[in-house]
Amino acid sequence: MADSTAERPTPSSSRISSQALDVLLKLEAEQIATLLSSRFGLDLAPILRPLPTELPQLALHLERLDRVFELKDGGILHLEFQARLTQADFLRFLHYALALLQAYPGRKIWLVVLCGPGVQLAPLPMTLGLLPYTQHYVLLGNQDGEAVLARLRILATSGAPWAETDRLDLYLLLLMRHQPDTETVARAGLALAESLPAVDRPRVIGAILSLAYHYEGQDLLDRLVEELMTTRVWEQQLVESRERGIEQGIEQGIEQGIERGRAEERRALLRRALSRRFGAIPPSLEARIAVADTEILTALFDQALVVSTIDDI
SS (H, E, C) 42-54: CCCCCEEEEECCC
Residue 19's pLDDT is what? Answer: 53
Does 114 fall in a domain? yes
Gap between the Cα atoms of 130 and 68, Å rounded:
22
Bridge-based pairing of strands 131-139 and 109-115 is parallel
Q: Is residue 99 part of a domain?
A: yes
C-beta of residue 156 within 8 angstroms of C-beta of residue 136: no
Claim: this prediction has a pTM higher than 0.85:
no
Kindly state whether residue 252 falls inside one of the protein's structural domains.
no
| Pair 12, 59 in one domain | yes
Based on the domain organization, do 238 and 274 belong to the same domain?
Answer: no
> Where among 247, 272, 296 does a domain terminate?
247
Using DSSP's 3-state secondary structure scheme, residue 113 falls into strand
Q: What are the CB-based long-range contacts (under 8 Å, 24+) for 125-134? A: 128/97, 131/101, 132/101, 132/106, 132/107, 132/108, 133/97, 133/101, 133/108, 133/109, 134/108, 134/109, 134/110
* β-pairing verdict for 76-82 and 67-71: antiparallel
> Do 273 and 313 contact (CB within 8 A), yes or no?
no
81 assigned to some structural domain:
yes
Q: What is the spatial distance between Cα 111 and Cα 99, in angstroms, rounded to a whole number?
A: 13
Residues 127 and 182 in one domain: yes
pLDDT score, position 59: 38
How does pLDDT run across 208-236, given as a tens digit for each residue?
Answer: 877 777 667 778 877 887 776 666 544 45
Q: Are 280 and 248 in contact (CB under 8 A)?
A: no
User: Has residue 254 been placed in a domain?
Assistant: no
Shared domain check, 156 and 24: yes
**235 and 144 together in one domain:** yes
Query: Which residue among 217, 247, 277 closes a domain?
Result: 247
Task: Give how many domains the chain has, as a whole number.
Answer: 2
Contact 76, 110 (CB under 8 A): yes
Residues 30 and 169 in one domain: yes
CA–CA separation, 46 and 71 (whole Å)? 6
| DSSP β-bridge partners for residue 71 | 47
**Could you tell me which residues come within 8 angstroms of residue 20 by beta carbon, excluding any fewer than 6 positions away?**
206, 269, 301
Q: DSSP string spanning 70-110?
A: EETTS-EEEEEEESS--HHHHHHHHHHHHHHHHHSTT--EE
State how far the Cα of 223 lies from the Cα of 212, in Å rounded to an integer: 11
Both 153 and 229 in one domain: the answer is yes
Q: Is residue 225 part of a domain?
A: yes
Based on the fold, state whether residues 289 and 162 are members of the same structural domain: no
> Average model confidence (pLDDT) for the chain?
75
| pLDDT score at 283 | 86
Structure confidence at residue 65 (pLDDT) = 39
Bin 84: left if φ > 0, else alpha if -120 < ψ < 50, else beta: beta
Q: In the prediction, which pLDDT does 64 show?
A: 41
Q: Of 198, 216, 247, which one is at a domain's C-terminal end? A: 247
pLDDT of residue 2: 41
Is residue 39 domain-resident? yes
Both 118 and 169 in one domain: the answer is yes
Instruction: Tell me what pLDDT residue 149 has.
Output: 93
What's CA 283's distance to the chain center, in Å? 28
In terms of domains, do 202 and 300 share one?
Answer: no
Q: At what angle do helices 164-171 and 18-34 cross, to 10 degrees?
A: 130
Whether 142 and 103 map to the same domain: the answer is yes
Give per-10-residue mean pLDDT for the chain (313 aa).
40 46 57 71 82 50 57 90 84 88 90 85 86 91 90 92 86 86 90 83 76 75 74 47 43 52 76 85 87 83 83 85
Same domain? 202 vs 307: no
Rounded Cα gap, residues 282 and 295, in angstroms? 21
Domain of residue 280 covers 264-313
Asked whether residue 259 is domain-assigned, the answer is no
User: What single DSSP character describes residue 130?
Assistant: T
pLDDT of residue 53: 55
Q: What is the pLDDT of residue 300?
A: 86
